């Protein structure tokens, strides 16, 4: 707007001013070029500054939880330092609390105690731990055993998770007999849960629990609850790669969640998914895997066979209300593959985006209708500059092409090309066509008409 006003002012005050129809006067063309380009620039700059304003109207707190996992909470408000500190503190406390109860990396969590205990009696745990185990068992049943929190001994045998916290590569992989032996102590049907009083029970003494594939999602849901308790209705929560968003971004759009391309050596966003009162959790085999004898072993294990997933599914992303549910199903989808998972996603009303790779390493993706439709728009500062420069170059190109057409038609004026400008008076209420010092035949006629209209108007004003 500002740039348009600045350019428009000299158009009416300076004489001689030539509309585009007056082809012999180069100033007119020049002004059009400047005007169009300035408008493009103004538009692009206003988009850039609105993106900056977008960021200014939100507040983000971030930190670390469950060891190396990053978390971020963004609320759709500008917060005071005190409110910001309170938000960060409460979120961190909630996450540390979950870690104390559910981690397999700490010595005294409910889960570590349960794993060490060889008793087949009920073992008391915190209500929250029992609730998460209850949900996990429900998803185990629904996923026909593809999601299973008793998978721990297999994860350890394949040298993932707490058994290999540094991710060291060890060429030894378990043999078929070892896997069969381990399968005797794996299986969700060998685990029971009760909520009153909260307790867990194992049917085989060396059964172990591993909540890694549901805990991050659960943590996201709990952080969202903290944000709501503190009175925030618009927020975006992220723990690891699992997210949940509520309300709208203050810029009047949905929050956007980036879903990666399943690439091992680089991070690249594949989809930007708009979220409102919804969660997205994504699993993949492209970050945590080992290559032994040219074979890829992913950290997701099929609990029914005892072997890691075979590399067919590279990424699975689930969209649904609760992030704990999305997280567990994303792991299940890695095991189940696209066909079975599409069927179960429809049955359990889950949004599904699944990427498979073929033998040549090419990706193919499938998305169902419940998965939010990704947006194409990119609101980061970099691409905005590209748009801005592109729009300006395009505007110059169009203006030059227009002028070339004029030259090709032997400088003949194009009738009416000054459009409504003849009717736009300057401060002395004269039209641009009257002000022109060297008018074409067409402009002369327009000028005469404008002059007659002005004189009639002035005469009538005089009467009143
Ligand atoms: P991803 O981002 O791939 O979902 P997660 O850390 O959320 O990764 O989950 C992977 C972890 O879950 C593994 O390291 C292992 O501890 C555990 N896990 C592996 N396979 C299964 C399975 N089939 N069901 C439940 N948990 C699993
Ligand atoms: Mg996960």
Q: Which of 1-10, 255-264, 281-290 has the highest mean pLDDT?
A: 255-264
Ligand 2 geometric centre to CA of 320 (Å) = 14
CA proximity to 219, closest of 199, 237, 192: 237
Q: Which of 124-138, 429-443, 449-463 has the lowest mean pLDDT?
A: 429-443
Ligand 1 geometric centre to CA of 376 (Å) = 30
Nearest residue by C-alpha to atom 9 in ligand 1:
213
The residue-averaged pLDDT of 21-31 equals 46
Does the pLDDT of residue 34 top 80, yes or no?
no
Ligand 2 geometric centre to CA of 415 (Å) = 66
Q: Name the maximum alpha-carbon separation found in the chain.
A: 109
* Domain stops at, among 364, 379, 394: 379
Backbone phi, psi, residue 275, to 5°: -130, 135
Residue 358 is predicted with a pLDDT of: 93
The residue-averaged pLDDT of 41-60 equals 60
Q: Considering every ligand atom shown, identify the ligand nearest to the alpha carbon of residue 146 and give its number.
A: 1
Ligand 1 geometric centre to CA of 44 (Å) = 44
Numbers of helices and strands, H then E, in the chain:
13, 15
Does the pLDDT of residue 5 top 60, yes or no?
no
The residue-averaged pLDDT of 140-160 equals 95
CA proximity to 344, closest of 328, 358, 359, 355: 328
Nearest residue by C-alpha to atom 10 in ligand 1:
213
CA proximity to 273, closest of 264, 263, 282: 282
* Domain stops at, among 379, 411, 438: 379
**Exposure letters 26-59 (e unless 16+ CB within 10 A, then b):** eebbebbbebbbbbbbbbbeeebeebeeeeeebb
Nearest residue by C-alpha to atom 19 in ligand 1:
300
Ligand 2 geometric centre to CA of 252 (Å) = 30
Does the pLDDT of residue 354 top 70, yes or no?
yes
Residue 74 is predicted with a pLDDT of: 98
Same structural domain for residues 396 and 301? no
Same structural domain for residues 18 and 107? no
Q: Which of 5-9, 280-284, 301-305 has the lowest mean pLDDT?
A: 5-9
Residue 446 is predicted with a pLDDT of: 73
Atom of ligand 1 nearest to the CA of 335: 23
Q: Which of 38-42, 80-84, 385-389 has the lowest mean pLDDT?
A: 38-42
Residue 255 is predicted with a pLDDT of: 98
- How far apart are alpha carbons 232 and 74 in whole angstroms? 10
Ligand 1 geometric centre to CA of 37 (Å) = 53
Ligand 1 pocket list (CB less than 6 A): 147-149, 151, 155, 160-161, 210, 212-213, 216, 283-284, 299-301, 303, 330-331, 335
- How far apart are alpha carbons 403 and 102 in whole angstroms? 71
Domains of the chain: total: 2
Same structural domain for residues 440 and 310? no
Sheet of 123-124, strand order: 123-124, 198-202, 191-195
Same structural domain for residues 134 and 249? yes
Ligand 1 geometric centre to CA of 160 (Å) = 9
On the CB side of 207, how many CA atoms lie within 13 Å of its CA?
20
Nearest residue by C-alpha to atom 23 in ligand 1:
147
The residue-averaged pLDDT of 446-455 equals 77
Q: Which of 28-32, 102-106, 252-256, 400-404 has the highest mean pLDDT?
A: 252-256
Best residue among 102, 165, 183, 212 to mutate for probing ligand 1, ranked by most atoms within 8 Å of CB: 212
- The residue that leads in pLDDT, 13 or 205, is 205
Backbone phi, psi, residue 52, to 5°: -65, -45
CB atoms within 10 A of CB 106: 15
Q: Which of 204-208, 367-371, 410-414, 442-446 has the lowest mean pLDDT?
A: 410-414
Nearest residue by C-alpha to atom 5 in ligand 1:
213
Element (H, E) at 144: none
The angle, 0 to 180 degrees and rounded to 10, between the axes of the packed helices 26-56 and 2-13 is: 160
Ligand 1 geometric centre to CA of 299 (Å) = 6
3-state SS, residue 212: helix
pLDDT category, 26, cuts 50, 70, 90?
Answer: very low
Same structural domain for residues 34 and 163? no
Does the pLDDT of residue 183 top 70, yes or no?
yes
Atom of ligand 1 nearest to the CA of 214: 7
Q: Considering every ligand atom shown, identify the ligand nearest to the alpha carbon of residue 281 and give its number.
A: 2
- How far apart are alpha carbons 154 and 270 in whole angstroms? 32
Residue 258, beta-bridge partner list: 272
Ligand 1 geometric centre to CA of 54 (Å) = 35
Residue 25 is predicted with a pLDDT of: 43
Residue 8 is predicted with a pLDDT of: 28
Ligand 2 geometric centre to CA of 323 (Å) = 10
Atom of ligand 1 nearest to the CA of 210: 16
pTM, to two decimals: 0.73
Residue 383 is predicted with a pLDDT of: 52
Residue 456 is predicted with a pLDDT of: 79
Does the pLDDT of residue 461 top 50, yes or no?
yes
Average pLDDT, the chain: 83
Same structural domain for residues 351 and 410? no
Best residue among 183, 213, 304, 311 to mutate for probing ligand 1, ranked by most atoms within 8 Å of CB: 213
Best residue among 68, 147, 286, 300 to mutate for probing ligand 1, ranked by most atoms within 8 Å of CB: 300
Atom of ligand 1 nearest to the CA of 302: 23
Same structural domain for residues 258 and 309? yes
**Exposure letters 128-155 (e unless 16+ CB within 10 A, then b):** bbbbbbebbbebbebbebbbbbbbbbbb
Q: Measured in whole angstroms, how far is the alpha carbon of residue 368 from the centre of its chain?
A: 18
Pairing of strands 295-298, 123-124: unpaired
Ligand 1 geometric centre to CA of 284 (Å) = 9
CATH number for the domain that contains residue 130 = 3.10.520.10
- The residue that leads in pLDDT, 453 or 127, is 127
Same structural domain for residues 433 and 321? no
Q: Which of 15-29, 49-63, 347-361 has the highest mean pLDDT?
A: 347-361
- How far apart are alpha carbons 150 and 172 in whole angstroms? 22
- The CA-CA-CA angle for residues 414, 419, 423, to 5°, reads 135
Contact predicate 275/372, CB 8 Å: yes
Residue 427 is predicted with a pLDDT of: 54
Contact predicate 20/417, CB 8 Å: yes
Backbone phi, psi, residue 340, to 5°: -60, -40
Q: What is the pLDDT of residues 300-311, one digit of tens each?
A: 999 999 999 988
* Domain stops at, among 362, 379, 396: 379
Does the pLDDT of residue 2 top 80, yes or no?
no
Residue 238, beta-bridge partner list: 72, 243
Same structural domain for residues 309 and 454? no
Does the pLDDT of residue 293 top 50, yes or no?
yes
Task: Enumerate residues 6+ apart whose C-beta is below 8 A from 348.
Answer: 142, 329
The residue-averaged pLDDT of 52-60 equals 74
The domain containing residue 200 runs over which residues?
57-379
Contact predicate 160/299, CB 8 Å: yes
Atom of ligand 1 nearest to the CA of 288: 3
Q: What is the pLDDT of residues 39-50, one digit of tens each?
A: 555 555 544 444
DSSP string, 230-242: TT-SSEEEEETTE
Best residue among 290, 331, 337 to mutate for probing ligand 1, ranked by most atoms within 8 Å of CB: 331
DSSP tag of 443: H
Residue 394 is predicted with a pLDDT of: 79
The residue-averaged pLDDT of 409-432 equals 56
DSSP string, 77-99: SPPPHHHHHHHHHHHHHHHHHHH
Pairing of strands 313-320, 242-246: unpaired
The residue-averaged pLDDT of 88-112 equals 96
Same structural domain for residues 252 and 284? yes
Residue 152 is predicted with a pLDDT of: 95
Residue 286 is predicted with a pLDDT of: 87
pLDDT category, 270, cuts 50, 70, 90?
Answer: very high
Same structural domain for residues 211 and 197? yes
Contact predicate 110/101, CB 8 Å: yes
Same structural domain for residues 6 and 154? no
- The residue that leads in pLDDT, 184 or 435, is 184
């Amino acid at each position: 707007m500002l740039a348009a006003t600045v350019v428009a002012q000299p158009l009416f005050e300076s004489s001689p001013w030539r509309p585009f129809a007056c082809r012999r006067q180069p100033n007119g063309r020049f002004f059009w070029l400047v005007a169009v380009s300035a408008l493009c620039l103004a538009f692009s700059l206003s988009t850039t500054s609105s993106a900056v304003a977008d960021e200014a109207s939100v507040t983000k707190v971030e930190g670390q939880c469950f060891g190396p996992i990053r978390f971020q909470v963004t609320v759709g408000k500008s917060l005071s330092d005190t409110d910001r500190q309170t938000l960060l503190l409460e979120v961190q406390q909630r996450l540390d609390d979950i870690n104390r109860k559910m981690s397999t990396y700490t010595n005294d969590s409910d889960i570590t105690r349960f794993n060490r205990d060889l008793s087949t009696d009920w073992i008391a745990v915190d209500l929250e731990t029992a609730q998460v185990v209850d949900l996990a068992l429900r998803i185990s049943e629904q996923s026909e055993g593809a999601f299973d929190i008793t998978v721990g001994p297999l994860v350890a045998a394949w040298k993932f998770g707490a058994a290999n916290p540094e991710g060291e590569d060890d060429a030894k992989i378990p043999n078929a007999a070892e896997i069969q032996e381990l399968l005797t102590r794996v299986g969700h049907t060998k685990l029971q849960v009760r909520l009153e009083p909260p307790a867990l029970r194992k049917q085989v003494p060396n059964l172990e629990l591993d909540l890694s594939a549901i805990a991050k999602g659960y943590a996201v849901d709990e952080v969202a609850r903290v944000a709501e308790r503190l009175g925030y209705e618009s927020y975006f929560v992220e723990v690891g790669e699992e997210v949940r968003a509520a309300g709208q971004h203050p810029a009047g759009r949905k929050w956007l969640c980036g879903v990666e391309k399943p690439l091992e050596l680089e991070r690249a966003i594949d989809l930007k998914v708009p979220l409102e009162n919804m969660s997205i959790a994504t699993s993949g085999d492209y970050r945590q895997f080992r290559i032994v004898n040219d074979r890829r072993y992913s950290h997701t294990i099929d609990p029914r066979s005892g072997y890691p997933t075979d590399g067919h599914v590279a990424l699975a992303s689930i969209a649904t209300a609760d992030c704990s549910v999305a997280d567990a199903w994303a792991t299940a989808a890695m095991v189940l593959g696209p066909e079975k998972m599409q069927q179960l996603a429809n049955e359990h009303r889950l949004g599904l985006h699944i990427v498979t790779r073929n033998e040549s390493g090419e990706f193919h993706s499938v998305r169902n209708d419940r998965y939010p439709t990704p947006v194409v728009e990119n609101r980061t500062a970099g691409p905005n500059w590209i748009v801005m420069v592109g729009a300006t170059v395009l505007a110059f190109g169009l203006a030059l092409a227009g002028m070339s057409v004029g030259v090709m038609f032997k400088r003949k004026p194009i009738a009416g090309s000054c459009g409504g400008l003849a009717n736009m008076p300057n401060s002395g209420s004269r039209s641009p066509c009257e002000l022109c010092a060297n008018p074409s035949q067409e402009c002369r006629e327009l000028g005469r008409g404008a002059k007659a209209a002005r004189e009639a108007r002035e005469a009538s004003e005089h009467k009143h």
